[in-house]
Structure 1
Amino acid sequence: MGENRGSIAFFTTYRPPVPLDIFSCPVQPSSEKDELHLTDGKSYNYNCRVIPPAALKTILKRPKLASEATEADVDLGRLTGLIFVSERANNLETLHIALCFGANPHQVKVFSLADIYGTDAFNGVRMEDSGCIGGGYEVGSHTIDHSLVYVSTKEPVQERRCPWTVVYKTNLRTGETERLTPPGTFDLSPSVSPSGKKIAVASFQGKAWDGEIEDLQTDIYVMNVERSPSGLGRRRVIVNGGWPTWGSENVLFFHRKEYYGTKQDDSTAWRVFRFDISTDELIPVTPKEFDAITPAAINKDKVAVATIHKKSKFTDVRVEAQYRHIEIFDTTAPGASVQITQKIRPKADHFNPFVIDGGKCIGYHRSDMSPSQNISNMERYFHKIQSPFQDTGLFRVSGVFPTISKDGSKLAFVDNEFKAVWLADKKGLRIVYEKEGPDSIHSPVWNQNPDKDILYVCMGVPFKADQPLQICAIPDVSSENGQRRRLTKGRFNNAFPSTDRDGERLVFRSIREKDKRYKNLYIMEKADVGEYGGKIKRLTNGPWTDTHCQWSPTGDWVVFSSTRDKPEDAPETDNGLDPGYFAVFLVNVNDPSVVVRVIRSAYHIAGHVNHPVFSPDGRSIAVTADLAAVSADPMSLPLFLHSVRPYGDVFTVDIDPEDINKNKDVKKFHRITHSRYENGTPTWTLFSTDVLIKSMDSHTTMDFNISCP
């Protein structure tokens, strides 16, 4: 059947344009020559932990690996193992095992869990994370099998605004897999105690995710690796904590955000704490003068953490103190730390440390900026990703607000600085329009008549409702003439244009009321000239925000995102950003009184379902939404500091293209992407991913400079 419903493209926030890879260095490095590259350098690799020798011997007995090495190789130190996340398999974020042969330099062979343990437990579209090893301890005369403990999003959850993150364990000898997280509960960041007997997790148990973007305020629970007749003995040990790591059988380190004051602008700091389960003693490990996150315990007193000594803004040219670095803190020597990565690469970010050889070395991941990473030889500027549906393709674009022409021959987007419009077509990849400074241009979209070769853009400061924002047309964009034609008059805030199928009319959202900030939809009767020779007709009218609009393939409806059902007593902002309460609606263009709500984030309406787009056949709508909450601790990610709200993942809902009223409050939705990052601004083209790659890739390489977050 193939991808006969076309393919969905989207942009990912937080994901660095330069691949992440895994490295280590001794605790007292002298220069960057002391740094060791731990993987094979293929794809993005991160969130690594060492596989203990005894567990590695068990893994080597699997048929896939039996010919690769022997137990003697492990005993003699010729072979070590790593478990980490890699995006090399269908561009999914899944766990892989690396066999590392020799010393420095060493040879590496990487295998997916599906390679080793089959596809019964490791298949389908999913995200995996936080692999660690449990078991291996004695109970009487019996040795408990080693097991891999990890997070996966493989089980669908129909409850809205709810995480899909569940902790599982897979027996390394038999391959049998068991869910450890209780039904209806969701966990993050598992860590196994030194004995292999206990697991600590950051959990949403007993609470709902309420739109938190950075500070999840999870609680830390402890449970047994092995299930007894009475269960796993799961219990809460810490209120408000994340990223747990064991220093001993009774000592946990974790991170937490502290607030110093009652106002929104008051100072805050992420700090690492030490908690003794046996005595309930809680002490801060890192000072409040800077941020310290993602701890990795070395022993009951020492812990490696990632630190950020000085906060930064998106527009900053960062200094050394604003980069994320790895340091070691010792609770027996308060106030002092051992700096690790500052001595190697002072102006590079280093993430999520892990302990090697009892603390003699510290591992981490960072963007690989080595000379071997020639940017023209990187992944192509769009990356095909495994889709949950055979009839619909999926790919990620390395640019913001991707838009594909109706005939599939052209792809346009803007860079991360919102400064330039890029075009990819049979001529290659190039800038077709550029402003002098950042935050000047966004939301490109093609005229749906491919013969017109017109690209519409929004010019002005994005995401600022009190600033003027104009819709402009770039005619004959493929010719690179650099011209533009302004379509909107006055100093209104206008955005998110979309033409009808003939390319004659254009719908957009605008703030037209004086002294108010309500956003409604309007239609330009002449898309070529806009308000300069054509009339404007109001499509929606009300004290709310209607935005992110797109014309249907038939031309009868417009889909849009709106806060019109927001309760009167709702807070002004949602976690300090926009007002929230976005749902997706359809409006009949010929009878604007007919408005139907298609999907909302949660049944109490709070949340975000945004950027809706129709499938080419009009039978589905793709959105970016927070329906699956978050899939990883946000503080473990590279931060993209901007005013844009991170929405979550891409989802679809099926609709009736004939009767608008049959599309009220669609209950079933489909999760399309599974990511720790933030996927947004989708577009849905008629063409398959293979056709698009073939039509553009022969002349196009990723040789442009997208600014790193």
Structure 2
Amino acid sequence: MAPQTLPHILSFLLLSFSIFSKLGTTTESTASSIAFTTLGRSRYFFDLFFLPTSQNPEEPVAETQLTDGFSVNYNGFFPSLSSSLLSSLLSSSPPSSMDALLYVSERNGSSNIYLDLFVPAKGGGSFLLPARLQFPLLRQSSHLSRVSMKDKPALAGDDLIYVSTHEPSSSPRRSWAAVYSTHLATGQTRRLTPYGVSDFSPAVSPSGNWTAVASSGARGWSGEVEELKVGIFVFRTADGSGRTLVVDHGGWPCWADESTLYFHRQSSDGWWSIYRAKISIGIGVSLVSVDRITPPGFHAFTPAVSAAAPKLIAVATRRSSSQFRHIELIEVGDGGITYVEVTRPVRPNSHHFNPFFSPDASRVGYHRCRGRSNGGSPPLLLESIKSLAPEAFSLFRIDGSFPSFSHDGKRIAFVGLPGVFVVNSDGSDGRREIFSGNAFPTAWDWKREGVIYTSHGPDFATESTNVDIISITLHDDDAKSQPSIKKLTSGGKNNAFPSPSPDGKWVVFRSGRSGHKNLYIMDALEGEAAGLQHLTDGPWSDTMCNWSPDGEWIAFASDRDNPGSGSFAIYMVHPNGTGLRKVVHSGEGGRTNHPWFSPNSKSLVFTSDYAGVSAEPISNPHHYQPYGDIFIANIDGSNIQRLTHNSYEDGTPTWTPLFLEPTDVAESLQGSARCNFDDCHWLNIKGEVTESLHGKSC
């Protein structure tokens, strides 16, 4: 790093600290609430399980659940615990026999790393679970900037090694993911990743002396959905020194011994495969050789190895004979390679993720969704997410797309793609379907109670597709009566994203009637039959519009900087067409979408790839865009703040003046998991046709 670079970055971080500490006093004068959706995330819960590495495939044993069935638990690690660490955790002499599990959990609205200790029952045997001792390992600081994603944990002695996103990067679209070391007895934390660099998927060597990571180096994120352009770096675990690039194309490293690394990458033939790197560690670190382990014909990724059995590799696979990813064991011997299925004989119709070995290699762990089926409709409730400024606003994830609050805050409308639904904001009375067709998004009329605007027709469609604006009027005085539907536009041409003016007279919307998606304003009651105002005009896409509560501005997303590229920025314009200005852009190729005004019209909430990507996409269920966090900013583009930290696709936020108490109601939904998600669509098997929305927008 150049000497002049570090002061610049430190100044940026100090500025971020100042902004975080002022959040809530300068942005909003009264408490409010923000709600957003995450693709699929509200519909599943993960737990960690294990199976023995040696079993009869004809008579498979049942898997053992490791985590407690509470919230979302993933990316496990079986640690070897030092006696000093055990003594500090237990404040007493530890039992002579104890099993342990390290993992990530999203319980209580934020991410943390937990250590569970399992005390064997009397009479011997492990995981009989008469007692579970559970420790959150990272202290919940009151410092606002500590809201972050914590991931991929490992232990090196008494030091916890993990990824965190709590420090902002120095530029847009550069990931905030970095590797840190925390001494668990003292809480002292050291950043091991250099500033200006993004690191993912750390793995600690058997000695604990070295850590390998998948790193993008100083390069920003250019929007890779399938495979990040990362290489394998190795550095000293103690302080991050001796950092050396050993493999220029590879991710998810793991150590077999101090000179052997396994990793995955997409091969030139298109198949994700496991590779083995031999390295030499002396005065420095150097690469000796790289060999491909798995052949073409199936995908293999996210490898794990144990020093106790260095020729045994656990991997997740996708084979042509299954629609699900499964855990397999690969044994590399002198006579060739053998494969043993682990999870498919036990649970053939579930996805299994990111394997890990016990220290003695007798068990292989993984995480999977614990739900029983892909069907059903659980009650719609809000999941409380830890807010940067809880005194200013609460933050919620909702199981529904394009949510919007009625202006008294008592009801929420959202779409199910298909269907439009309404639910009380306190979760009472269940959800009510008010329109069965495919629709997006939702917005409530400011003056006429019970009137909701949406657009009916295909989403992610071309300018000429038949999509029209409709209003839906609820008749609450007669519970048995059906809502009234009125069509406000005619002729299709992709009319969508209606947003009413606060005086109740007008609706701004997006239309492709000119051959390009631009903004128009029409009468709220009579629709375009009463005439149209052409608000924006040009050979680009202006879309996702939102009218400010004070009536002064209309915010929208536009690709006018590079039409057709899929790159969107947020703009604002006065309703009379004057004052056009750009508010937020995450950089060339970046996406910043779905703006929504704060109740006082001084801020915007939106979704953006401003913070890049937080984990290797292949380690997660399918997301069309494995980035996209929720941000807020002032309407002049200043004071950009990141609200969500995860590896999911967060989007379609809304902002209401109603302050909802941040009760963690999601934890009561544990029996409603539906496991309704796909594997990554881009893992093509034998030329199967897959769906990809990368580069597209509604």
TM-score by structure 1 length?
0.83
Cα deviations by residue, 1:451-474 (Å, 9 ceiling, x for unpaired): 431122222211011522122222
Query: 2:387 maps to which residue?
Result: 387
Deviation at 1:99, TM superposition (A): 1.5
State whether residues 621 and 653 of structure 1, in contact with CA within 8 Å, keep that contact through their aligned partners in structure 2: yes
Q: List gaps (5 residues or longer) in structure 2.
A: 1-23, 121-125, 281-286, 679-698
Deviation at 1:212, TM superposition (A): 1.2
Cα deviations by residue, 1:216-274 (Å, 9 ceiling, x for unpaired): 111110001124xxx711100011211111111111111112343xxxxxxx2221211
Deviation at 1:178, TM superposition (A): 0.9
SS in 2 for 1:503: coil
Deviation at 1:133, TM superposition (A): 1.2
Deviation at 1:84, TM superposition (A): 0.8
Paired residue type of 1:654? N
Distance 1:121 1:472, change over 3 A: closer
Cα deviations by residue, 1:91-118 (Å, 9 ceiling, x for unpaired): 112211111222243132322124xx57
Q: List gaps (5 residues or longer) in structure 1.
A: 137-145, 261-267, 311-319, 573-578, 656-662
Is 1:588 the equivalent of 2:574?
yes
TM-score by structure 2 length?
0.84
Deviation at 1:302, TM superposition (A): 2.1
Within a 5 Å distance, the mapping from 1:69-80 to structure 2 comes to 70-71=93-94, 73=95, 76-77=96-97, 79-80=98-99
Deviation at 1:122, TM superposition (A): 11
Distance 1:700 1:48, change over 3 A: closer
Query: 1:283 maps to which residue?
Result: 291
Deviation at 1:443, TM superposition (A): 1.4
Cα distance in 2 for partners of 1:109, 1:324 equals 31
Cα deviations by residue, 1:168-202 (Å, 9 ceiling, x for unpaired): 11123433211111121111110001111110001
Deviation at 1:488, TM superposition (A): 1.4
Cα deviations by residue, 1:396-440 (Å, 9 ceiling, x for unpaired): 00111111111111112222xx1222221276222423547xxx3
Q: 2:43 aligns with which of 14, 17, 26?
A: 17
Cα deviations by residue, 1:9-42 (Å, 9 ceiling, x for unpaired): 0001252612100110112445675211111211
Within a 5 Å distance, the mapping from 1:55-74 to structure 2 comes to 57-62=83-88, 65-66=90-91, 70-71=93-94, 73=95
Query: 2:599 maps to which residue?
Result: 616
Is 1:150 the equivalent of 2:162?
yes
Q: 1:649 aligns with which of 605, 629, 654?
A: 629
Query: 2:647 maps to which residue?
Result: 676
Is 1:247 the equivalent of 2:232?
no
State whether residues 195 and 249 of structure 1, in contact with CA within 8 Å, keep that contact through their aligned partners in structure 2: yes
Cα distance in 1 for partners of 2:442, 2:539 equals 27
Cα deviations by residue, 1:610-651 (Å, 9 ceiling, x for unpaired): 1011000111111100110011111111114xxx54551011
Deviation at 1:587, TM superposition (A): 0.4
Cα distance in 2 for partners of 1:330, 1:653 equals 52
Q: 2:67 aligns with which of 11, 22, 39?
A: 39
Query: 1:348 maps to which residue?
Result: 350
Deviation at 1:305, TM superposition (A): 0.6
Moved more, 22-31 or 474-483: 474-483
Q: 2:444 aligns with which of 443, 446, 457?
A: 446
State whether residues 420 and 431 of structure 1, in contact with CA within 8 Å, keep that contact through their aligned partners in structure 2: no
Moved more, 281-290 or 162-171: 281-290
Distance 1:555 1:121, change over 3 A: closer
State whether residues 209 and 237 of structure 2, in contact with CA within 8 Å, keep that contact through their aligned partners in structure 1: yes
Moved more, 27-36 or 333-342: 27-36
Cα distance in 2 for partners of 1:345, 1:705 equals 15
Cα distance in 1 for partners of 2:242, 2:670 equals 54
Query: 1:601 maps to which residue?
Result: 586
Distance 1:704 1:539, change over 3 A: farther
Paired residue type of 1:53? L
SS in 2 for 1:594: coil
Q: 2:318 aligns with which of 308, 323, 347?
A: 308
Cα distance in 2 for partners of 1:193, 1:379 equals 45
Paired residue type of 1:419? P
Cα deviations by residue, 1:369-406 (Å, 9 ceiling, x for unpaired): 269x9999x89621111111131110100111111111
Paired residue type of 1:356? S
Cα distance in 2 for partners of 1:375, 1:97 equals 33
State whether residues 45 and 675 of structure 2, in contact with CA within 8 Å, keep that contact through their aligned partners in structure 1: no
Query: 1:112 maps to which residue?
Result: 136
Within a 5 Å distance, the mapping from 1:171-210 to structure 2 comes to 171-210=183-222
Distance 1:476 1:394, change over 3 A: same
Distance 1:118 1:600, change over 3 A: closer
Cα distance in 2 for partners of 1:32, 1:108 equals 26
State whether residues 13 and 646 of structure 1, in contact with CA within 8 Å, keep that contact through their aligned partners in structure 2: no
Distance 1:456 1:364, change over 3 A: same
State whether residues 295 and 352 of structure 1, in contact with CA within 8 Å, keep that contact through their aligned partners in structure 2: yes
SS in 2 for 1:58: helix
Query: 2:546 maps to which residue?
Result: 550
Cα deviations by residue, 1:303-327 (Å, 9 ceiling, x for unpaired): 11111114xxxxxxxxx70111000
Paired residue type of 2:329? I
Within a 5 Å distance, the mapping from 1:506-525 to structure 2 comes to 506-513=507-514, 516=515, 518-525=516-523
Query: 1:627 maps to which residue?
Result: 610
SS in 1 for 2:41: coil
SS in 1 for 2:194: coil
Cα distance in 2 for partners of 1:536, 1:702 equals 50
Deviation at 1:545, TM superposition (A): 0.9
Query: 2:152 maps to which residue?
Result: 130
Distance 1:483 1:491, change over 3 A: same
Distance 1:704 1:496, change over 3 A: farther
Distance 1:702 1:538, change over 3 A: farther
Paired residue type of 1:484? I
Q: 1:462 aligns with which of 459, 462, 473?
A: 459
Q: 1:86 aligns with which of 96, 105, 114?
A: 105
Distance 1:379 1:304, change over 3 A: farther
Moved more, 607-616 or 121-130: 121-130
Cα deviations by residue, 1:337-385 (Å, 9 ceiling, x for unpaired): 11000011000111110101422111001111269x9999x89621111
Count of matched residue pairs:
627
Cα distance in 1 for partners of 2:337, 2:669 equals 52
State whether residues 429 and 701 of structure 1, in contact with CA within 8 Å, keep that contact through their aligned partners in structure 2: no
Cα distance in 2 for partners of 1:345, 1:511 equals 47
Query: 1:562 maps to which residue?
Result: 558
SS in 2 for 1:433: strand
Cα distance in 2 for partners of 1:147, 1:706 equals 34
Is 1:169 the equivalent of 2:181?
yes
State whether residues 510 and 544 of structure 2, in contact with CA within 8 Å, keep that contact through their aligned partners in structure 1: yes
SS in 1 for 2:43: coil
Cα deviations by residue, 1:46-83 (Å, 9 ceiling, x for unpaired): 111012132xx333233x6315xx33x1xx32x22221
Paired residue type of 1:388? L
Distance 1:598 1:367, change over 3 A: same
Cα distance in 2 for partners of 1:700, 1:16 equals 9
State whether residues 243 and 295 of structure 1, in contact with CA within 8 Å, keep that contact through their aligned partners in structure 2: yes
Paired residue type of 1:402? P
